[in-house]
Amino acid sequence: METYQPQGQVETPTPEQEKMSWQRFLLDILETVGLALVLFLIINGVSARVLVDGTSMVPTLQDGEFVLVNKLAYRTSLPTRGDIIVFRSVDTKDLDLIKRVIGLPGDRVVIQNGQVSVNDQVLNETYINAAPNYSGEWRVPEGDVFVLGDNRNNSSDSHSWGFLPIRNIIGKAMFIYWPPPNWAAIDHVKIAVAAP
């Protein structure tokens, strides 16, 4: 049965209608918070955000930049030579580092006379800050990689602390997202060398 509501009069909601309105409002808030939480967990499951702290990757990455990391990049494959990766430090708890992969399992890495060679092939490293002023020779064991910073003479990396276990790799650095003037995809130079 319809009732006539004179124009200009506002119908006062009944207590039951007010209760239903508040319940709907609370349900909407819970749905929004729940969806935000699910999205947060999914995003954190597949990516990470990392602050570049220091100058070990200059000129490729600058101190203070924030980088987006793909955590799924190496779930089904190994990194390739030239990839810039984020990993858990081998000698400092709760420290993540960012370096470039130079040697893969089985590779022979030699640094001498300011040049880096992998499997007897000298690398053309246009991305480095300066030629390394140290030398050494390493054979990368199975399950490990050899990493170097692009700022070769100002980087704590495999030349000083040894090999990086593949299990320590968090993911592949993909994009500089902060500060906005530096927005860019990260260049993963392909280093092609003969197999050992």
C-alpha distances out from residue 60 to 54, 127, 169, 177, Å: 12, 7, 19, 14
Residue type, 128: I
Choice among 21, 56, 155, 156 that is catalytic: 56
CB of 185 within 8 A of CB of 177? no
Residue 99 annotated among the catalytic residues of the structure? yes
Active site residue 56: yes
Strands (E) across the chain are located at 47-51, 66-70, 84-88, 96-103, 108-112, 115-118, 121-122, 136-139, 144-148, 164-165, 169-178, 184-185
Is residue 140 within 8 Å of residue 73, measured between CB atoms? no
Return d(Cα 167, Cα 14) in angstroms, integer.
63
For 48-189, where are the alpha helices, taking DSSP H only?
158-161
Residues in the chain, overall count: 196
Annotated active-site residue in 19, 71, 93, 99 = 99
Residues acting as catalytic residues: 56, 99
